[in-house]
Structure 1
């Protein structure tokens, strides 16, 4: 039995588990009904975010830092669709231009968390019971602190700023990723196709590289997509507390922090940045779960 036949057997077993799902049902689940519409809306919003991140001038041609005191605190109107802030800056322009920074922090923090989590999970799952016990105890200590509190402790040691906030969020999310990856690795290591490869005399390195790691790391795409929304929320929370980007930076968390003083008189200053944070997290989650379903039914 070759490596290709082992992989084919695994794919066949996965296909057989999908009993009771006809072609029409699967097609309807993927492309029809409310789920399909939700995915389309989420994808459209993400495309808008990507356009705003890479070409903000096309979405909002103005200067996000240009002040006009005479236009301060104007409510949403045809001239300023999201209103203006205390310095007369257009809120829509600032939200659009702040997309790049917010997404950059979210993606970078997610990559840091996934990378560290993958390393810890693989070490725990592959290097024997003593190492597994040690890594698990380390993860339990990290889990003893709420994620945001762990990020705050990191910032207290190394100082506030966007780079520090990104590292803090990445480190705070790493333990969760590590546990998921370790559990996946242990499950794959004890699966039938790995046992078959062992019986056929494949080397441990070959089994690890050809069978265990590809099937263990496959869920990382889904985990990363789901984690971006969480990372953006945490980064915005840190900026809101004054530990991330500082005003007048056009970053969603910093805009929320600046607008909290004027909630009674100019609620739009905080509403629209907060709305973008929420919609980004929801869209990332919807697309992540859609990718998970596609991979599960593939």
Structure 2
């Protein structure tokens, strides 16, 4: 072995045994923190009585506007209700709205994406043009239009958010399906004489499920933000409902003297959005494999 080859081998061996850099470990730490936060949200949704410290609807006028303390971790609101317990009680409602709206948007997006991908050129052109027209409008504006037509409320807000996210999902899913349809393994299955139904069931759908699942994980946080924005505007859940957006709307009047009424529900919205986004990106990296 020459001296140059020996040096190259030594460099490669040292690179293999070199400990991972700190910036390579940071995403793993972030992913663990995101998982821990999501598990906390699941526990608050499934067992709110165990996670909360007090009755979220118990009114105590003498305890109104108490700042955060050991007795009230997130302080109290204008009626003396414990803000922490109300945030925990609103976790299930906010997550249900986010998951349901994401499911509605994904279902419609998947249907439109499949039609555009496998319905022929004419249907692909028509669906793509409709999706582009809808995609040109801001998603929240579409949700507001739906609410104006059918009236405010948590159910209407959930459906409105789901409908407003459908064009974006349809565009992404259509591109994903077209990419998989033209892949080499699909062409090989066609050459082997497999039927279109078998190719769709055994090759295209399984390879499209993981990206769609990642897309759903990323979309839950966006749906929660939009639903909370609608509740903040008075078009979703109405006070005194324990929902994060409604709590933001109720606390804005007292923001100067009782900031905790708005800050802590807002932090829950931000934390949930960040956690679901981090998990979605981690799943996307895992699906791509090591680079």
What is the CA–CA distance in structure 2 between the aligned matches of 1:167 and 1:108, rounded to whole Å?
Answer: 8
Counterpart pick for 2:146 among 129, 154, 159: 154
1:85-106, Cα deviation, whole Å (9 max, x unpaired): 1111110010011100000000
Unaligned stretches of 5+ residues in structure 1: 1-19
**Worse-superposed segment, 216-225 or 254-263:** 216-225
Counterpart pick for 1:204 among 181, 196, 207: 196
Aligned residue number for residue 9 of structure 1: none
With the length of structure 1 as denominator, give the TM-score of the two structures: 0.89
**Worse-superposed segment, 189-198 or 247-256:** 189-198
Aligned residue number for residue 118 of structure 1: 110
What is the CA–CA distance in structure 2 between the aligned matches of 1:144 and 1:35, rounded to whole Å?
Answer: 34
Change (3 A) 1:198 1:96: same
Are 2:19 and 1:46 equivalent residues in the alignment?
Answer: no
What is the CA–CA distance in structure 2 between the aligned matches of 1:154 and 1:117, rounded to whole Å?
Answer: 17
Aligned residue number for residue 234 of structure 1: 226
With the length of structure 2 as denominator, give the TM-score of the two structures: 0.91
CA drift of 1:188 comes to 1.0
Aligned residue number for residue 192 of structure 1: 184
Are 2:209 and 1:217 equivalent residues in the alignment?
Answer: yes
Aligned residue number for residue 276 of structure 1: 268
What is the CA–CA distance in structure 2 between the aligned matches of 1:92 and 1:256, rounded to whole Å?
Answer: 13
Within 5 Å, give how 1:59-74 maps onto structure 2. 59-74=51-66
CA drift of 1:198 comes to 1.1
Aligned residue number for residue 6 of structure 2: none
What is the CA–CA distance in structure 1 between the aligned matches of 2:146 and 2:190, rounded to whole Å?
Answer: 44
User: Which structure has the greater CA radius of gyration?
Assistant: 2
What is the CA–CA distance in structure 2 between the aligned matches of 1:88 and 1:46, rounded to whole Å?
Answer: 29
CA drift of 1:40 comes to 1.1
Q: Kindly indicate whether the alpha-carbon contact (under 8 Å) linking 2:210 and 2:287 is maintained by their aligned counterparts in 1.
A: no
Aligned residue number for residue 14 of structure 1: none
Unaligned stretches of 5+ residues in structure 2: 1-11
Aligned residue number for residue 101 of structure 1: 93
Aligned residue number for residue 28 of structure 2: 36
CA drift of 1:144 comes to 2.1
CA RMSD of aligned residues (A): 2.1
